[in-house]
Amino acid sequence: MKNAQNSVNDLGTGPVGRLLVRLAVPTITAQLINALYNIVDRMYIGHMEGVGDLALTGVGITFPIIMLISAFAALVGMGGAPLASIELGRDNRERANRILNNAATSLLILAVVLTAFFLAFKRPLLMFFGASEATIEYAVRYITIYVSGTVFVMIALGLNAFITTQGFAKEGMLTVLIGAVLNIALDPLFIFTFDMGVRGAALATILSQAVSAVWVLLFLTGKKTVLRLTLRHMPLRRDIMGAILSLGISPFIMQSTESLVMITLNSGLQRYGNDLYVGAMTIISSIMQFMSMPLMGLGQGAQPIISYNYGARNYERVKHTYKLLIKVSVIASCLLWAALQFFPQVFILIFNDKPELMEVAVHSLRIYMAGVFMIGLQFSCQQCFMAMGQAKTSLFLALLRKVILLIPLALVLPRFLGTFGIFLAEPIADITAASVTFLMFLRFSRKLFRELETKPQSEA
C-alpha cells in the first residue's frame, strides 16, 4: 500500500517530463500491443491460401461490432478513470473506490446485454455493414466466437484504465502485453495447424482477452493497488453512474462512431466500387488504427498527471503537462504522416500482396491519410478536456469529427467523385476538426488561467 500511495503522490510532485515518459511509454506500448489483437488476425487471415482476400474483407466487415464493444468499455472505463484520479487528487479515496466498483458492475451488465444482442442479430447487421454473398460466411464465423467472449473484452479494456490512472503504467501495459503475446502465438496454431480459418483467429483473440481480464482482476483485488474492487462498493449509485456516463460519452462516441463510419464507408465502397475497395478499406483502417495508437497512448499517459493536479488545483503543473503533451503529439503525427505518404507499400504488404488489391490500396491510402499530420493536435487537446472532466466540450468534439463532418462528407462526395470522394472525406474531416478543437482548447486554457491569476494562491 505504501508503494501504491507513493505512485499516486508522484503525480503531484515528480518532474513532469520524467513522469510523462514513465507513464506514456508503457501506455503507448500497451496501445500498440492492443492494436495487434485485430491486426495480427488480419495479417494471418489475409495470407490464407486461395481465399485470403475474401476472408480478410469478411473479417473487416465485423469491425463495426468490435468497435462498438470497445466503445462501451471506453464509456465506463475512460469515463470513470479520470474521475477516480481527480478524487484521489482531492484525497477522497472512498469516492474513488466507489467509482471503480460502480464501473465494474456496469461493465458486467453491459457485457451480458451486448452478447445477447449481437448473437441474435449478427447476420442482418453484417449484411447492412457491407457484406456480400462472397464474404458474409467469413464474417459470421469470426464474429460469433468473438461476441461470445464479450465479457472478457469489457473487463480487460474497461477496468485496465483504473490501473493506469493510479500511475501504474507498467502494470497496465502488462494487461495487454500478456494477451497480445498469447494471441500472436495462438493465431497460426488455430488458423493453420488446426485448420480453423477465421474461427481460429477469433478464438485466439478471445482466449487472450480472457487471460488479460484475469490479470486485471487479480491486480485490482491485490495489495499493490490504491483503488480496490470490493463487494460493498459495487451496488450502482445514481450520482456516480451519472458522472461516469457524462464524461465517458465522449470516448464512447469517438469509438462507436468509428463503427458508424466504417458502415458508411464500406457500404459506399460496395455501392460505388466492389469487394476490392472494401478490402482496401479493411487494410487502411487497420493501418490507421495502428498508427493512431501511439498518439492515444501518449494522451492516456498524460491523463493521470493532468487529472490528479487538476483535482489538487495545481494548475501550473496542469499547464506544463498539456503543453508538453501537445508538442510531442504534433511532432509524432507529422512523422506518421510522412511514413504513410512516402512508404505506403511497406504497410499494405503486411496484410496482402495481391497486385489488384495493392494498386487500389496504395492510391486510396495516400488520399485517406492526407490529414494525419493534424490528428496529434486533435487527440492531445481532446484528451486534455477529458482529463479535466470537461464532459460537454468532449462530447461536442467527439461528435464533430465523425458525425458532423466525416459521415455527411462520405455520403455526399461520392455522388460527384465516386470512390475517390469516400476516401477524400477523411482528410477534410481530420483537418477541420483538429483546427476547431485547438481553437476551443486555447480559449478554455486562457480562461482557466485568467481565473487563477485573479485568485489568491490559497484559494486556487
Which residues, 6 or more positions from 341, have their beta carbon under 8 angstroms from its beta carbon? 366, 369, 370
Closest to 247 (Cα-Cα) out of 79, 103, 413, 431: 79
Closest to 383 (Cα-Cα) out of 323, 302, 447, 314: 302
Closest to 67 (Cα-Cα) out of 143, 138, 135: 143
Which residues, 6 or more positions from 307, have their beta carbon under 8 angstroms from its beta carbon? 82, 85, 86, 89, 165, 387, 388, 389
Other C-beta atoms lying within 10 Å of the C-beta of residue 357: 24
Q: Quote the pLDDT of residue 286.
A: 79
What does residue 406 show for φ and ψ, rounded to 5 degrees?
-65, -50
460 residues of the chain, pLDDT tens digit each: 545 554 554 676 677 778 888 877 777 776 677 666 667 777 777 767 666 667 777 887 888 899 899 999 999 998 999 899 889 888 899 999 999 999 999 999 999 999 999 999 999 999 888 787 888 999 999 999 999 999 999 999 999 999 988 878 788 888 888 988 898 889 889 988 888 888 998 999 999 999 999 999 999 999 889 899 999 999 999 999 999 998 888 788 777 877 788 888 888 888 888 888 888 888 888 788 777 878 888 887 888 888 888 877 787 888 888 888 999 999 999 998 999 999 888 888 877 677 888 888 888 899 999 999 998 898 888 888 878 877 778 778 878 888 899 999 999 999 999 888 999 999 999 999 999 999 998 888 887 666 655 554 434 3
DSSP sequence for 139-194:
HHHHHHHHHHTHHHHHHHHHHHHHHHTTT-HHHHHHHHHHHHHHHHHHHHIIIIIS
DSSP sequence for 298-366:
HHHHHHHHHHHHHHTT-HHHHHHHHHHHHHHHHHHHHHHHHHHHH-HHHHHTTT---HHHHHHHHHHHH
Q: Quote the pLDDT of residue 146.
A: 95
Maximum CA extent, the chain: 72
Q: Quote the pLDDT of residue 456.
A: 45
By the 8 A CB rule, do 169 and 27 touch? yes
Place of cell 466503445: 71
Q: On the CB side of 194, how many CA atoms lie within 13 Å of its CA? A: 14
* Helix (H) or strand (E) run with residue 206 in it: helix 198-220
What does residue 139 show for φ and ψ, rounded to 5 degrees?
-65, -45
Which one-letter amino acid corresponds to residue 175? Answer: T
pTM of the model: 0.72
- What are the Cα distances from residue 63, in Å, to 3, 81, 89, 133, 323? 40, 26, 37, 18, 34
Q: Quote the pLDDT of residue 458.
A: 38
Q: Quote the pLDDT of residue 459.
A: 41
Domain boundaries, given as residue ranges, for the chain: 2-453
Q: On the CB side of 301, how many CA atoms lie within 13 Å of its CA? A: 30
By the 8 A CB rule, do 266 and 56 touch? no
Q: On the CB side of 458, how many CA atoms lie within 13 Å of its CA? A: 0
Compute the Cα dihedral for 180, 182, 188, 191 and give only its sign.
negative
First to last CA, the chain: 30
Which residues, 6 or more positions from 180, have their beta carbon under 8 angstroms from its beta carbon? 33, 34, 36, 37, 40, 208
Degrees (nearest 5) of the Cα angle 48, 52, 57?
140
Which one-letter amino acid corresponds to residue 316? Answer: E
Q: Quote the pLDDT of residue 247.
A: 85
Instruction: Give the distance, in angstroms, between the CA of residue 189 and the centroid of all CA atoms in the same chain.
Output: 28
Q: On the CB side of 78, how many CA atoms lie within 13 Å of its CA? A: 31
Measured distance CA(12)–CA(9) in Å, rounded: 6
Which residues, 6 or more positions from 150, have their beta carbon under 8 angstroms from its beta carbon? 69, 111, 114, 115, 118
